[in-house]
Structure 1
Amino acid sequence: MEESLIQKKPRILCLHGFRTSGAILKKQIGKWPETLLHNLDLHFLDAPFPANGKSDVEGFFDPPYFEWYRSNQDFTEYINFEESIAYIEDYMVMHGPFDGLLGFSQGAFISAAVPSMQAEGVALTKVEKIKFVIIISGAKFGGIKIGQPKLAAKAFSSPIHCPSIHFIGEVDFLKEGGTDLMQSFVNPVVIYHPRGHTVPKLGQHYFVFFPFLSSLYQYGMLLF
């Protein structure tokens, strides 16, 4: 490729799952093709709160483990959600700008809600608006069996005009919620994989994911 055509890598802030860590998500994403990872500027952030209970990844990944927030049993009360959103914003102010968000599980819940929270002016107002989101095993607040924190109460009340790609596992316990979530986005790109609640290897889906990122050039981003 001619040097004049080489453009900057998209900077992506990656948010890990419940009671895991940025280091764990980095290992999970590390299964993706090097030809793709080489073209991404990925930043992995630990949630600000230590895990307040047992982690499901104990025995698979080493501690420490962190959580973005927790809720009561019927999801009517969320603890530490607003604090985590402020923490993410502070990190983005100090280390940004970031072009997109990538979230897995609990991190995907947050990532999916950010575009609307920014549009409403209720959160992350000190940073540039996110240009795209990558959602892996996520769902929406107020969706399937899940309540909603006050800050994200209106996050899915209208169609979300933010480019998005959604990974949905065929045997993921959040499959129904993930399907409901992607319907809240305008023209979502969806990758179905045969596994459960995990970050899947891309395999043949590489040829869906890479064009998604490349197509963002039309939104004013300089990619690859």
Structure 2
Amino acid sequence: MEHQLVRKPRVLCLHGFRTSAKILEKQTQVWPEFVREKMDLVFIDAPFPAEGGVKELGAEEELDPPLYEWFQANKDFSKYWNFDECVAFIEDCMLKNGPFDGLLGFSQGAFLSAALAGMQAEGVALASVPKIKFVMLISGGKFGGSRFSSPKLAQNAFSSPLECSSLHFLGERDFAKQNGIELLDSFVDPFVIHHSEGHVIPKLDERGSEIMLKFIEKVTTTCPPLTPSL
């Protein structure tokens, strides 16, 4: 008789603009261990070396090189470069290191994570990997919103609300807060954690921890169980 064991959701984590996997891993350590231990977090570096200095980020004291970025855009976000190459890179990483159940993204990584779920649902990306079951979006936003145009590959990513489970972090002092609010309508029944901080991975108060644990519990039920051999 086979015994099926519940397993942790496996999450591919996409860092922010001009940072790195190592930095995002350090940033998430502000979350309590009893939250982090519920997930199997895998951190990867973006494919392109950072094209600008860390001073542009306003947090150079925390950023140790090498630094990376997922794709590039002009100042008004009306044109993008290397977006298709970035998506192909992520799909390759998922093939080599997966399977993954969901995505976690911060800032540029959150924009990308949200769009990847939509692009996969549209059938234009991630066709060779399992369906993304959930996304966790910190200081994110959406392509095609009030401020950002869409890369061609992502132009229909949010044509209808996504049934992919989603957890959104909205910071009261985050300059990207409005972008994050716009993104909520793109998902069916989103979970939301409000916090008082800015454009950061926030610490979790009791309420935030409770919401995050409920979300993890929800998505864990969608993960195929382990079936150990006897």
Q: Do Structure 1 and Structure 2 share a fold, with TM-score over 0.5? A: yes
Indicate the structure whose relative CO is greater, using CA pairs within 8 Å and at least 6 residues apart: 2
Q: CA deviation at 1:218?
A: 4.5
Aligned position for 1:100: 102
Aligned position for 1:52: 51
Q: Which runs of 4+ in 1 moved over 4 A?
A: 220-223
1:157-213 residue CA offsets vs partner (Å, 9 max, x unmatched): 111111000000011111111001011100000011001110001121111100111
Amino acid paired to 2:11:
I
The alignment's TM-score, normalised by the length of structure 1, stands at 0.94
Is 1:219 equivalent to 2:222 in the alignment?
yes
Gaps of 5+ in 1: none
Aligned position for 2:184: 182
Amino acid paired to 1:43:
V
Aligned position for 2:10: 11
Q: 1:38 to 1:126 in 2, by over 3 A?
A: same
How many aligned positions are there?
220
The alignment's TM-score, normalised by the length of structure 2, stands at 0.91
Q: Separation in 2 of the partners of 1:119 and 1:6?
A: 29
Q: 1:127 to 1:152 in 2, by over 3 A?
A: same
Aligned position for 2:210: 207
1:119-150 residue CA offsets vs partner (Å, 9 max, x unmatched): 11111111001000000000000113111111
Aligned position for 1:115: 117
Q: Separation in 2 of the partners of 1:14 and 1:43?
A: 6
Q: Separation in 2 of the partners of 1:67 and 1:145?
A: 20
Aligned position for 2:35: 36
Report percent identity of matched pairs: 54
2:200 to 198, 201, 206: 198
Q: Superposed, which structure 2 residues align to 1:55-134 within 5 Å? A: 55=54, 56=57, 57-134=59-136
2:48–2:68 CA contact under 8 A, matched in 1: yes
Gaps of 5+ in 2: none
